[in-house]
Amino acid sequence: MTDYSRRVRIPAMLDLAIVILNWNTRDLLRECLRSIFASDGDFSLRVCVIDNASTDASAEMALAQFPQAMLIRNPVNSWYAVGNNLGLRAFDFQSSVASHQPPVAG
């Protein structure tokens, strides 16, 4: 009997996808991303920041200080549901966390 399981490569699925919806909360977003990327764990993690047309340089800060996060810029504030759906479509994941405003892990 042939063991075919060794021949098939199944792409790894993320353990956790975090979607952060942001609108003009640069400092809070910075602390949120800092706390996420400072945490340890034996799991795969991806973060997507959806910036809803912020005017406080939130997107620029995220790009410069957290290049490991995916950034999607909305040209207009598309609000909660549209923004979260946009972020969730970016991942193949087992679990997700969607936040209305950037939380800070303690």
* Contact criterion met (CB below 8 Å) for 100 and 88: no
Q: In this predicted structure, what is the pLDDT of residue 33?
A: 96
Tally of structural domains, the chain? 1
Does some domain include residue 75? yes
Say how far apart CA 5 and CA 24 lie, in whole Å.
49
Does some domain include residue 17? no
Q: In this predicted structure, what is the pLDDT of residue 18?
A: 86
Q: In this predicted structure, what is the pLDDT of residue 50?
A: 93
| Residues of the chain predicted below pLDDT 50 | 1-10
Q: In this predicted structure, what is the pLDDT of residue 17?
A: 81
Does some domain include residue 86? yes
Q: In this predicted structure, what is the pLDDT of residue 66?
A: 98
Convert the pLDDT of each residue in 81-95 to its tens digit: 888 888 888 877 666
